[in-house]
Structure formats: structure tokens, C-alpha cells
Chains A and B, each alone.
Chain A
Amino acid sequence: MKKKNNILKIEHLSVTYGPIKAVKKVNLEVSQGEYVSLIGANGAGKTSLLKAILGIEKAEEGNILFLGEDISRKATDKIVSLGLCLIPEGHIIFSSMTVLENLQLGAYHNPSGFEENLQRVFTYFPILKKRSSQIAGTLSGGEQQMLSMGRALMSKPKLILVDEPSLGLAPKTVTEIFDILGELNREGYSILLAEQNAKKALESSHRCYVMKTGEVAITGFSSELIDDPQIRQAYLGGS
């Protein structure tokens, strides 16, 4: 139906690590401007799926179409330059460099819009502006997560992949980060979010895929899934 404005379309994607099949023939779509979430238990294959999209893990089979172009065999740097980015699990930053240097590195494929992007990132994350000359390793966990997000935004991506932004953060910070993701989406960014915290993910996203041992088990609109008794039972702690 909405074939035309797919920004990301994944067909029959499989990822294996030796004998382990982490992702099995997954189909998934993200439309332009859409906010899609991906939930599932530990080891369901969410991270592997995101890594495969970015070309960090090799896709065993299947296609990944980004803006109509097959990126499943491309190198990560090429994929990033097309406008995809991943905010990884567990704040991966350059910890011995300053905050500003981290952001400069984020702009590798978009050096011309550097100043403008920097100001935008600073409006999302005012704390980064205050800390801009601090060594990144000395930031708090929440600040590091924000830096990791800010660094991804510096490349002016068309689709943002986010992996467990809530990992190890206080509830207040988690809320803050989800607010920012929502705001980014309203500004027109397409988002694919992998998250353990099913409640938060379902509340904020438009559509949701539920992964179970490498396969997509259920998919639907978030507003419907959140009331689904099965989902409530399995992922929202019953209540």
C-alpha cells in the first residue's frame, strides 16, 4: 500500500554467528517519517538486526533496501554516508577525546554543515554545550548516552537506528531521552528503536515489531499492541 515512501525495507534478512542463528528471515519496513520500535527479550536478535543494517555484521541472506538502494553488501562507511546512523547499545564514545572532538568525528560525512549541526545538537542537548571541552570519559552515564546521540545527529541522518538508549540510566534520564527521540521524530527524522523497555517503546512509537528468538513474532500499531493481552502478559509485566 505505502510502497512508495519506504525509507527502509528489509527482506528475508538472516544473520548468523557460526552455528548461532541470531536473525532468521526477518521482514521489516520503516516509512518516511515513521517511528518504529523493535522489542523483544534478551538475545532476541535486536542488536544483531541493527548491526546488519549498518553493515557491521554481514547479512547471511536477504536484502536491505535503503531509499530503494540495496545496502546489504556495502561497507559501513558507505552506508553511513548515505544517511543512516546507529546510536549503539551502551554509550560507545571516544572516551579520551573531548566532547567537541567526539561531535566533530560524528560529522565525518557531513563536514560542510558542521556549525549548523553543532548548534542543533546543542539545542537538543544543552548539557553537551556546557561540557564541550571536557574529556568524554569523565561524563556521567546519561551524558555519555546524550553524547552518543548527539554524535549520530552530527551526520544529519535520514534514518536513525537506536539500540537500547535506556540501558543503565535513571528513570528520569530515560524519560528525557525518549522525549528527545519523540521530538526528533516530529521534526521529520525516521527512527527505528530497539528497546527492552516495552512500555516506553510502545508509548512513543507508531508501529512495533516484536522479536522472539530471531524471528518477528508479532507486528502492528503500537497503540493497538499496548492493549493486546498477550503483549501485556509477556512484555509489560502482566498488569
Chain B
Amino acid sequence: MSEVLYYFLGFTAIYILMGWALYLPYRVGQLHFLIVACMAVTAYFGGFAAREWGWPFILLLLVGISIGAIIAFVFSQAIGKAPCFTVVIVGLTSVFIVKTVIENWELLGGTIGFFHIPTVKYLLPIIYILLLIVGFLIYKIDHSRLGRAASVVFVDREVAVSLGIDIKKLGMFFQIIACAIAGMAGILDAFFVNSVSPEFFTFSMISYLMCILFVGGYTTMWGVILSAFILQGIPLLFPSEVASWRQVIYGALLVIIILIRPEGLISRKMLWGLKPKFSFNNK
């Protein structure tokens, strides 16, 4: 497999995971950037533990998931049902604080980054198997009582409360799952790239994830998959002079999509539109 394709597939999968991690809390109307902080923490922890202490990949995967979940659990006590922009600012400041800590920590390589993380065999297939498992899990959540409750909360919190939905518990649930996924993505990222750098976990990462979620469509889990492939593909498809302006392209895409298709490329309405057709064909 060519190197370009290998990295394209690997990164796309990792970004799909992160896109889903952003998608889940947005089911209840929260933009949870804490996932980026979780990813940074586990990427560094995983890289360090693998290189210095020789911890195995599988163990680190489980540890990464737990770290993400624990961080989210602690934070969600306070912001389980907080308004969207409070959650936004909690995420943004955490990312910044984590970044500052990393940059000032000699042991972790400071601003230069942390290198020589051991390689894992068959990592790409493993990543895609994990992607399938996570995807299945999210599909199950979406089509459960919780998913339907989340849709009510998204549209109207007061109605949700009057229906007896515990908004805080629901928010906590989605935040914890999201950060667990992000924790896993962090470990995968560290082993996939064999290095981690604080440059990776910045505003541009956050805006990239926003692009993935909102260009693809935030009402279903499928939009993230579509847009992750498209957006990862843009720098590969275009000549490098164009590709170097990709932030502009992503930004413009974000503005355009909000203007002409606020629900993103794939929306739930669209999927509903498909459904009756299928059942019609079956008859």
C-alpha cells in the first residue's frame, strides 16, 4: 500500500472517531471540545508509557479509554447540563491548559514533541475494526431510548424536562462516551504517527473537527464519515499551491454549508426521505 494512501486511511479513521466524539454531545446541544484535551492527554500518556515503560498497545488502549472517561466524568459533574457556550469555553480553556503543561514539561519533549513511539503491527486494520465497533455502538445509542431523548433535549430543553428526561444524566452520558472515544483516538494517533506534538492539538484541530461535523451533517452519525473522507482528501486531490490554503477552503466550506444547507450534507430528513422508498421496493 502506498504511504500516502496508508496515512490517508489512518488519519481519516482517527478523524471519524473524533468527529463522532464531537457529534455525540451535540445530540443534546453541547459542543464538547474537551475531547481534544482528552485526546492530547492520552496521546502523550500512551506514547510515554509505551516508550519508557514498555506498556503494551492493548493495555494502553484500555487505559486511554478509561482516562478519557474519567476526565469526562469529573467535568460532567459540573457541565452535564450546562448551556452550549459554557461547555465550549470549558473545552477551549482545557485544551489550552493541557497544551501549556505539555509545552513546559521537559520530559514530554516540550514544544518540539515526543518521538520514537514503538510501532504496532497491523495497526490500520485494528483501527478500522475499532471504528466499526464504535460505529455500531453509536448506531445502537442513536436508535435507543437515549437517542430519542437526546433529540427532544436538542429541540427544546423545557419540553424534555416536562417529559421527565434527566438532562444532566443524559448530558453526562454523552460526554463520557465522547471522551472515552477521544481517549482511544489519542492512543491510536500516538501509535499511528509514532510521535506526538503539541502543535497538533490547537485551534486548527478544533476548527477542523467542527468542519467535519457540520459540513457532513450533525443530525446523523453518517455525515461525519462522508466529510472526513472529503476533507482529508482535499489536500491530496489538489495541487500543493491550492492545498496549502486548505484552512481557507475549510473555513469557506463551513460558512457556505451553514448558509445553504444548515443541516449539513447528510441530514436526518434526507434519510427519512429514503426510507419509504426502500420499503416500497421490498413490496
Determine whether A and B are in direct contact in the complex, meaning some CB atoms lie less than 8 angstroms apart. Answer: no
Give the A-binding residues of B (Cβ under 8 A): none
Give the B-binding residues of A (Cβ under 8 A): none
